[in-house]
Amino acid sequence: MRGGKPSVLLQNPGIVAKTSLFGGYDNFGDDTLILHFNLEDVMKKTIITACLLAIASVAPAMAWDGKVVACYKKHWVQPSYKVSKVLVMDGHKKYEHRGHHVVEVWYPPVYKEVKTQLTNGHYIMKKSHCH
């Protein structure tokens, strides 16, 4: 015993024990290793660890103390656009030869559609039945 601490004497250890749980170790150069540990320190660390684990496992259960008021469902809203027409070519009449005849043909106006996005698509929450 050294300084009132219980000791363990190991002869020819294959692995040198280095851990913070024990008080320390002495290696005398030969194959003898003496581990020193304080039983009170080991018990304190074990009890503190057990208490922390118990508190951590109970904490989520203690956090819920309310009741369900309403339920909601995610609903996708499409983006909104402003659509306008831009005139590309006016409507016009044209005389064409078709076979042995000359005919007047009407060509309607041609428009290009221009789409401008006003709002992005997004989710909204709609009330739904609780199950």
- pLDDT of the residue at 22: 46
Question: Are 75 and 124 spatial neighbours (Cβ–Cβ below 8 Å)?
Answer: yes
Q: Tens digit of pLDDT per residue, the chain (131 long)?
A: 445 545 454 444 444 444 444 455 555 555 555 555 677 888 888 999 988 888 777 666 666 667 888 999 999 999 999 999 999 999 999 999 999 999 999 999 999 999 999 999 999 999 998 87
- Residues 122/75, Cβ–Cβ less than 8 Å: no
Task: Provide the 3-class DSSP secondary structure of residue 58.
Answer: helix
